Amino acid sequence: MTPTNKPHWDITGISKWDYTDPPRGALIPTGGNAGVYQTGTWRAERPIWDEEKCTDCMICWNYCPDASILVTDEKMKGIDFFHCKGCGICAVECPFDALKMVPEHSSEGEAKNA
Amino acid sequence: MPKTVLKEVKNTPKAQQTAAALTGNSAVAMALKQADPDVVSAYPITPQTTIVEELAAYAARDHLKGKFVNVESEHSAMSSAIGAAAAGARSVTATSSQGLALMWEMLYIAAGLRLPIIMPMANRALSAPINIHGDHSDAMGARDTGWIQLFSEDAQEAYDNTLMSFRVAEHKDVKLPCIVNLDGFIISHAIARLDIMSDDDAGAFIGESSPTYGMLTDDHVETVGAFDGLGGFYFEFKRQQDEALQKAKEVLLDVSNEFAALTGRSYGLFEEYMLEDAETAIVVMSSAGGTTRVAVDKLRAEGKKVGMLKLRMFRPFPADEIAAAIGHCKAVAILDRSHGLAGTGGPMGDEVKAAMYHLDDRPECLNYVYGLGGRDVTVENIESVYSDLDSLDSATNSNTGFRYLNIRD
């Protein structure tokens, strides 16, 4: 088999790929696939959101490097834990103490943010 | 195993050709222009400078339609060539010596991303001490970067190799960058008579480029150069790369065959000169091949059975083909225009000797380091090598040994 470029990013059966299967030159032949990559497993700490203190000022949304602050109609709705890496920038920047970091394995806040 | 040398081509040349008197660099610049590159990214360095100077002049007169990018270093020259090639452009640059050294990390990236960038290199010694003259230290340092490497004996070969390099590098089963080597000053700056093809014929021979991935457009996006860690396919990609590199041998022969039919000039992976019945032979590359040919003619006239293998394709290294071509000799000398500084002589010596290891009846081998920093190599020097081979005592020759040619000792 000759290595070929697949027209679409189809990684079905990737665990069984042999050396000819990955697209030549380590290409990822589509854009916008960061969305399907789970970076939430990298967290050592998780942000806890206090809805009572939140004023929907959008500072956390602005600062979040991973677009993990969920917002609908200009209202803060929670945190995208599939992608949130737990960097803590939101908790540092929040002027209203509406976000704080707790250890990832703490039970605090799980019910509200899950 | 591909054939090593092409048969004599009887066809009438079909391309329209003109005799011209050009320096090696002008000839190479002409070939690059005829390839109609989309992007030229260039930085000057002696002795390559006049290649990109002439390309700049072509661009200024609108004879070169592509984008000419002035960059601030060779690292940037290679980086912008990589970016352009990844976006689908036919990209070229040129360099020498320290310039290549500064491109270092990007050389591996160009090859790893499978981008068929063409880079003529006017070979020059590496500092220190600073020296601008011709030797192969630069090319030999890049020998394991994954680039195809061709070497040229004169301006004609430099021109021909540059034209053919596009076809090899861009071939769908290869897709690898290629360095076209020409000896600094000896070839790059000496004016020689050569035949050049018309722009139309050269352009038709090279053809349109087919981008490695596809042209990057608003509708077609892709990720190039993503992380590929422990759980990934890094190892597998290196195997893909090596198989593609090996494929370049066969492709070069096919392309050379087509080129021969077009121009009457025939090339293989290497030239076998008077090798068939040779008892002793020299393995050499580039301009010293011409000097060696003169010595062979002289010694043959005296009835001595001497021959030469002049290597054209150094990467991929045609090990089996070389062993088949010189394995029958009693003794072989490998001439390296660079010093391996490994304590074992030059890199070509190591590789040619390794290529013959599996033979039951191996020739005795001598490895010579010659011509460093542009030191001249004369017909008399070459004759002395054949004389050394004649008097070689197989009982005392050590295969790990090496000698110097024309050094003050």
Residues B356-365 have pLDDT tens digits of 999 999 999 9
Question: How far is residue B337's CA from residue B376's CA, in Å, rounded to a whole number?
Answer: 11
Can you give the pLDDT at residue A13? 83
> Does the beta-carbon distance from B223 to A5 stay under 8 Å?
no
- Number of structural domains found in chain B: 2
Q: Which domain holds residue A103?
A: 38-113
Decide if B318 is inside a domain: yes
Contact present, B306 and B299 (Cβ < 8 Å): yes
A7 plus A42 within the same structural domain: no
Q: What's the mean pLDDT in B241-256?
A: 98
pLDDT score of A4 = 44
Residues 2-21 of chain A whose Cβ lies under 8 A from any Cβ of chain B: 2-3, 5, 17-20
Q: Say yes or no: B95 and B155 in one domain.
A: yes
What is the mean predicted confidence (pLDDT) over B133-154? 98
Q: What is the pLDDT of residues B342-354, one digit of tens each?
A: 998 999 999 999 9
Residue A46: which CATH number? 3.30.70.20
pLDDT in tens, A1-51: 334 444 456 777 888 999 999 889 988 887 777 787 889 999 999 999 999
Q: Are residue A65 and residue A26 in the same domain, yes or no?
A: no
The B148-152 sheet, strands edge to edge:
B67-70, B39-42, B91-92, B118-123, B178-183, B148-152, B313-315
Q: Looking at the structure, tell me whether residues A19 and A54 fall in a common domain.
A: no
Q: Are residues B171 and B295 part of one domain? A: no
The mean predicted confidence, pLDDT, of chain B is: 94
Q: Which residues from chain B sit within 8 angstroms of residue A1, using beta carbons?
A: none
Which sign, positive or negative, has the C-alpha torsion B390, B393, B399, B405? negative
- CB proximity B233 to A under 8 Å: yes
Residues B308, B259 share a domain:
no
B219 belongs to a structural domain: no
Mutate to test the interface with A, among B237, B242, B246, B247 (most CBs of A within 10 A): B237
Give residue B214's pLDDT band: very low, low, confident or very high (50, 70, 90).
confident
For B53-72, what is each residue's pLDDT tens digit? 999 999 999 999 999 999 99
Cβ of B226 under 8 Å from any chain A Cβ?
Answer: yes
The SS3 call for residue B205 is: helix
Read off the CATH number of the domain in which B148 is found: 3.40.50.970
Q: pLDDT tens digits, residue range B321-330?
A: 999 999 999 9
Minimal CA–CA distance to B359: which of B323, B400, B396, B388? B323
Q: Is the pLDDT of residue A66 over 80?
A: yes
The pLDDT value recorded for residue B213 is 73
Pairing of the two strands B403-404 and B364-369? parallel
Residue type, B113: L
Question: Is residue A19 domain-shared with residue A64, that is, in the same domain?
Answer: no
B299 and B188 part of one domain: no
The residue-averaged pLDDT of B363-374 equals 96
Range of the domain at B58: 17-205+249-263
pLDDT in tens, A81-93: 999 999 999 999 9
Q: Please check whether residues B180 and B52 belong to one and the same domain.
A: yes
Mean of the pLDDT values across residues A59-63? 97
β-strands A45-49, A99-103 pairing:
antiparallel
Give yes or no: residues B259 and B309 share one domain. no
Q: What gap in Å lies between CA A95 and CA A62, rounded to an integer?
A: 13
Q: Of B106, B150, B81, whose CA–CA distance to B317 is shortest? A: B150
- The answer, yes or no, to whether residue B219 has pLDDT greater than 80, is no
Please tell me whether residue A101 adopts helix, strand or coil conformation.
strand
Cβ(A28)–Cβ(B220) under 8 Å? no
Q: What's the rounded mean pLDDT across residues B207-233?
A: 83
Cβ contact B223–A22 (<8 Å)? no
Tell me: do A46 and A8 sit in the same domain: no
Coil, helix or strand for B199?
Answer: helix
ipTM over 0.95: no
Q: Look at residue B409 and tell me if it is in a domain.
A: no
- Please judge whether B240 and A17 are an interchain contact, meaning their C-beta atoms are less than 8 angstroms apart: no
- Residue B11 pLDDT level (bands cut at 50, 70, 90): low
- Total domain count for chain A? 2
Mean pLDDT value of segment B270-287:
98
CA distances from A75 to A59, A61, A111, B148 (A): 12, 10, 20, 58
CB contact under 8 A, A3 and B213: no
Residue B241 domain-assigned? no
- A15 and A71 together in one domain: no
Characterize B341-379 residue by residue with b for buried, 16 or more Cβ atoms within 10 angstroms of its Cβ, and e for exposed: eeeebbbbbbbbbebbeeeeebbbbbbbbbbbebbebeb
